[in-house]
Structure 1
Amino acid sequence: MSKKQVATSKAPGAIGPYSQAIATGSWVHTSGQLGLNPETGELAEGVQEQTRQALNNVKAILEEAGASLDHVIKTTVFLKDMNDFVAVNEVYSTFFTEPYPARSAIEVARLPKDGLVEIEAIARKK
Structure 2
Amino acid sequence: MKCLNYRYWLGLGVFFLLIGCCCATGSEENSAIQEEQSPPIFHPTHEPSKVNAPYSDIVQVDNLYFLAGQIGKDHTKGTLVEGGIEAETRQCLENIKAVLAQHDMTMANVVKVLVILDDINDFAAFNEVYKTYLPQKPARTTFAAEALAAGAKIEIEVVAVGD
**Mapped pair 1:55 → 2:97:** no
- Maintained 8 Å contact 1:28/1:65: no
Q: Deviations over 1:10-43 (max 9, x none)?
A: 9x62774101111121110000000000101110
Larger Rg: 2
**Mapped pair 1:121 → 2:158:** yes
> Matched residue of 2:100: which SS?
helix
Correspondence for 2:58 among 11, 14, 21: 21
Letter in 2 for 1:103: R
Q: Find the aligned partners of 2:102 and 2:158 in 1 and give their Cα distance.
A: 14
For structure 1, list consecutive stretches of 5 or more residues without a partner in the other structure. Answer: none
- Maintained 8 Å contact 1:75/1:104: yes
TM normalised by structure 1 equals 0.91
Q: Find the aligned partners of 1:5 and 1:59 in 2 and give their Cα distance.
A: 18
CA RMSD of aligned residues (A): 1.7
Q: Find the aligned partners of 2:97 and 2:91 in 1 and give their Cα distance.
A: 10
Number of residue pairs the alignment of both structures matches: 124
Q: Deviations over 1:39-66 (max 9, x none)?
A: 0111011111000000001111111122
Q: Deviations over 1:93-123 (max 9, x none)?
A: 110123x101000100111001000000000
**Cα shift at 1:5:** 2.6
Could you say if the C-alpha distance between residues 14 and 92 of structure 1 is closer, same or farther in structure 2, counting changes exceeding 3 Å? farther
TM normalised by structure 2 equals 0.71
**Mapped pair 1:109 → 2:149:** no
Could you say which structure has the greater relative contact order, defined with CA pairs below 8 angstroms and 6 or more residues apart? 1
Q: Find the aligned partners of 1:4 and 1:86 in 2 and give their Cα distance.
A: 36
